[in-house]
Amino acid sequence: MARATPSLSSTFNSIAMNSKVDVDENKWVESVRKSIIEQEDEELNKIPVCIFTVPKVLLATDPKSYIPQQVALGPFHHWRAEVYDMQRYKLAAARRLQTFMNVRFERIVETMKIREEARIRACYHKFLDMSGDALMWMMAVDMAFLLEFLVVYSMKREGRVLKRITSSMSHLVDVTGKKLSHVAILRDLVMVENQIPLFLIKTMMEHQQRRESDIKSPAEKLKSMLMGLYQELTPFTEQALADVDIDECDHLLDFLYHMTVPNNKELGISVAVEIEYEGITEEADEGDEEKSFSKPSDLRRFMNFIWKILTKSNAGMVRIFKKIIFRRPVALMMKFPWKIISNIPILKLLKGPMENMFHNFRGEGPESKDESGDSKTPTIEEITIPSVTEMANAGILFSPVNGGIFDISFNAKTCTLYLPVVSLDVNTDVYLRNLVAYEACVAAGPLVVARYTELMNGIIDTEEDAKFLRERGIVVNRLKSDKEVADVWNGMSKSVKLTKVAKMDKVIADVNHMYEQTWKVKTSRYLKRYVFASWKILTLLAALFMLFLSTVQALCTVYSCSRALSHLPEFPGSEGGE
């Protein structure tokens, strides 16, 4: 384990260094000239960028989940030494495709270069500093390898049936999915930076169909393969799968994302649903004062009322205290030692808490601001929801649902939270992380997958939470322990921006409201606020009062206090005896 971290960091650093390599200026000028002058096709300008690099904020959290370790597809990681060993198996797949097509592979590459080079370059958001020949040979070989790998997941309409594979691929893929190389390849296929345009595979399958007597169209065959791959990778167990149009998918990960987060058309919903995603800040209801910690409680309002009465009173005792405090000699005596005491390092630390305590007492809670003085926007870590064990102790029930992310719901009448069944294996972490990264790159609306991972991260804090969900049938654990399940969710809390998903946010709000209204939570918080917290405040005040008395006693031993005491007012009726 000690050797894994240096190699991973060195890989991350090498990728950063490769982004700064020297560029041949002549080749660069030629490519720019060709792109601007020779390519006058207006259709190329309409091709959206669909293959991105992972945002740095996500890449820094866990590079191994975004950098391919076994096989590289496309130009981003092709030249890395760690994945170049797979080149021999890619070439073997290309030779088998050449034999099956009964055409020279060079002819396939030349056709691709004439027809598809500009379209391929337009798909990548990063400038590809490669010659046309190198790019086309690379894409053709990778396409042959990916197509041969996907054939394993071909499906028939009545169910999933895996075809027999050739002996040359048996060491890489296995119908049971238990071989290490097969698992590693699956992890690499779903990575954001490891995608190739899907239209290349569709074009190749169209040429293959000319030599086969198959009733299915190339699009139907490709969709069957990708559906099988989705069922192999998805952690959810949907009863009804979305009907995704393969012609509208840009690459393999795009198809997997549409299957995980289908739109209304793919779900068969004709009515448009308006979703708000401007922010995550939720304003508390003005009439519900129990939810807002910034509003004064009943005890605080009572104390404020008593304080106002005392400050406006003209009773003799109040006047005496005012004279004692504001008499100039005594005031000067008190101000001098207070400056000394407030600068003592230990007591100086109490200045902030004491000021916050008096601010809260007056109902003036300190406002959270950033460096510029503006109010801070809540971060993802500040989005809170009780953990599974906390909700269970409060009486909230959990029930599994055979569905996807949009099947999350909460029934306030039965006090039951419905969560989709999620199966966790060695590929789930990488699969969900790359869906979150891809969603951040392309989604113009709410980040649904990111919000789901934030929700699961919020309710699963410890292995006891993971064990509880596993016993309820919500989490199917194919990892080594419940602790690994908790680590998976807790490691995916990082996102690139704040978002709001209406349905899930309503569930979170309903759960928090129900949790706050349970008698166990109310009793516990009442004891913490007004009993345990009071003892802390009283202990602090007693310690400060003893320190004050000790200071006065020390000062009186040094200075003569008789002069100050002579100015004290006399109590009425004290003269002349009784």
- The DSSP 8-state label assigned to residue 417 in this structure reads E
Question: Higher confidence at residue 342 or residue 443?
Answer: 443
Q: Which bin fits 48, alpha (ψ -120 to 50), beta or left (φ > 0)?
A: beta
**Residue 326 in domain:** yes
For residues 458 and 489, state if they share a domain: yes
pLDDT band at 468 (very low <50, low <70, confident <90, very high): very high
Q: What is the pLDDT of residue 278?
A: 40
For residues 317 and 424, state if they share a domain: no
For residues 529 and 503, state if they share a domain: no
For residues 427 and 309, state if they share a domain: no
For residues 404 and 551, state if they share a domain: no
For residues 425 and 328, state if they share a domain: no
**Residue 44 in domain:** yes
For residues 141 and 48, state if they share a domain: yes
pLDDT band at 414 (very low <50, low <70, confident <90, very high): very high
| Mean per-residue pLDDT, 169-197 | 76
pLDDT band at 245 (very low <50, low <70, confident <90, very high): very high
Number of domains in the chain: 4
Residue whose pair of structure tokens reads 């992972």 in the numeric block: 54
| Mean per-residue pLDDT, 143-147 | 94
Domain boundary residue among 195, 228, 261?
A: 228
**Residue 194 in domain:** yes
Q: How far is CA 478 from CA 61, 173, 459, 485, in A?
A: 24, 20, 20, 9
Q: What is the pLDDT of residue 527?
A: 65
Residue whose pair of structure tokens reads 């030692």 in the numeric block: 337
For residues 75 and 134, state if they share a domain: yes
CA 79, 85, 87, 93 dihedral sign is: negative
Domain boundary residue among 167, 202, 228?
A: 228
Span 275-295, pLDDT tens digits: 444 443 333 344 443 333 334
236: β partners: 422
For residue 49, give every residue at least 6 positions away whose Cβ sits within 8 Å of its Cβ, in sequence order, or none.
Answer: 122, 123, 124, 125
Question: Higher confidence at residue 79 or residue 169?
Answer: 79
Torsion of CA 48, 51, 53, 58, to 10 degrees: 90
For residues 532 and 497, state if they share a domain: no
Torsion of CA 102, 106, 107, 113, to 10 degrees: 140
For residues 400 and 322, state if they share a domain: no
At position 31, the amino acid (one-letter code) is S
Q: Are 291 and 285 spatial neighbours (Cβ–Cβ below 8 Å)?
A: yes
What pTM was estimated for this model as a whole?
0.70
For residues 355 and 393, state if they share a domain: no
Span 529-547, pLDDT tens digits: 655 556 666 677 788 888 8
pLDDT band at 154 (very low <50, low <70, confident <90, very high): confident
Domain boundary residue among 228, 243, 277?
A: 228
**Residue 248 in domain:** no
Q: What per-residue string of b and e applies to 287-320 under the rule 16 or more CB within 10 Å gives b? A: eeeeeeeeebeeeeeeeeeeeeeeeeeeeeeeee
> Which pair of structure tokens corresponds to residue 258?
């549409």
For residues 352 and 428, state if they share a domain: no
pLDDT band at 269 (very low <50, low <70, confident <90, very high): confident
Span 486-525, pLDDT tens digits: 999 998 876 677 778 899 999 999 999 998 888 777 676 6
pLDDT band at 42 (very low <50, low <70, confident <90, very high): low
**Residue 157 in domain:** yes
Give 114: exposed, middle or buried? Use CB within 10 Å, 0-12, 13-18, 19+.
exposed
Q: What is the pLDDT of residue 312?
A: 55
Q: What is the pLDDT of residue 443?
A: 80
Span 336-355, pLDDT tens digits: 454 555 555 545 555 555 55
**Residue 408 in domain:** yes
Q: What is the pLDDT of residue 526?
A: 61
Structural domain span for residue 475: 380-515
**Residue 246 in domain:** no
Least reliable range by pLDDT among 56-60, 329-333, 472-476: 329-333
**Residue 205 in domain:** yes
pLDDT band at 173 (very low <50, low <70, confident <90, very high): low
